[in-house]
Structure 1
């Protein structure tokens, strides 16, 4: 029986391209000539796609279901993953939200796995051993020979900080709580420094500035509490109030901006604020919030396609895909018109 690899060889393209044409991937960009050529070879070789067989996979989320409900970024990412799995003939047997004792420890062999969020390296290795195909999503853990899809949090955070500096915003505060890695037992393993915070530390050190960090949770209320802490510190004469703030997510940023504005602090004149995720909450009222758009749909689509192509044996080797984010300017840090 003809295989995808044989069709790809005849067409002079990669097996992944053939697989995506067979699966009618709407995101595929190839010329009409190439598409027609591949379809003709498929017809001539009497290739029969295994459309009736759905590869069964599991999705592991490195957060609890409660945390996901509070964090729209992970909620949107998970929903997009489920959507693209349906589009690509993948059946999600179950989603495991963590921490959840013994859920990982008791896993038996299955076809495919997608791990979303921060896990320990040993946990990733363990899951890879029981999964025929595997993709790590939205995590910067360095595990050799691991297929991975992530965004460029480090690059864009560095660009944001440099943007602040170029506009003479040199007293920069970082607001956001710690992130927890998940161990092989499915329990909290320990706090992990977020890559955005790590980038902040490195940038501040390089420019010989003093770091200023407020550790809070991830909700709007946590953002308000952070603003109250900053205002309380303002009463302390040695403390210099920030003129720029990076918030770990848009929920924190919304709470910060609302509470600071209610306390008579002008945004962006007195302090500029940038969040992450570009959620609708950044636009619901004035002042609107400048945010880094992380394209969850593109991340999910790339991750699902990568897992599908592994299951179909249409790719080989290690594939690391970076889906770039972009800064969306609004009131809290307006774009300079040159």
Structure 2
């Protein structure tokens, strides 16, 4: 007779067969089942369109708002009733074109945007380069923390901080007083507005330049050095040309944001350095002239579009072109 089989005792090292299906997997299976019922496989060719529908809806609302604004700009304000007239007219646009004040405001806005782009990129490029190229993780983390801290503080709060720093009795003038320099008026002028805009736009520019610089292989700089180029020559002839897409993309973002800014001119300009956005606010909320305010808003849209169009026509779209060829 064969001997009875002995029971096998599982070894402590053997893998356990007691597998329990995790709850999160069950939830994912249920969601997947519901998605299959709601969006069957035959609808898969339209999945991409379904995903961008919320973005298209937002863009559609923006376009609708622009059409309504264009319609409002063709009606003048009746001063006797403070209601918009029923007749269509180009009087608001004529007022904007004939006004030396609005021409000065528009030129100031464009000039400040150009200076902001120049100084912001001048400061952001070395900051992003050091952050990307440093071999110390501690330095990189510190630079990232310093970069992201301003995003936790609103623009208005940062402008108030600059008011405290640049005031007559502020930190800057107190430091100048230590070396015997009399207090200087650092606020409520054009340089103060540009300084505030550069300080506000710097993190945006760094964040857009960092990926462009990361994409530049270190070996290219090493090869330039091996061929006799010093660091300045390598940076000028190798890094800058290869970082051009990032510079263009950052310049476009900084320029459009600076051109349409409201808080910095209002707070650091003291009412004497208004941009177009400030003039729009005055017409909508102070004089209640919605037609003239709408005309100014469309003027701002045109100026911003011209700025972007000229830059793209001359330099290309940079990183905003998503790899498209000319």
TM-score by length of 2: 0.24
Name whichever structure is richer in helix by fraction.
Answer: 2
- Bigger CA radius of gyration: 2
TM-score by length of 1: 0.24
Name whichever structure is richer in strand by fraction.
Answer: 1
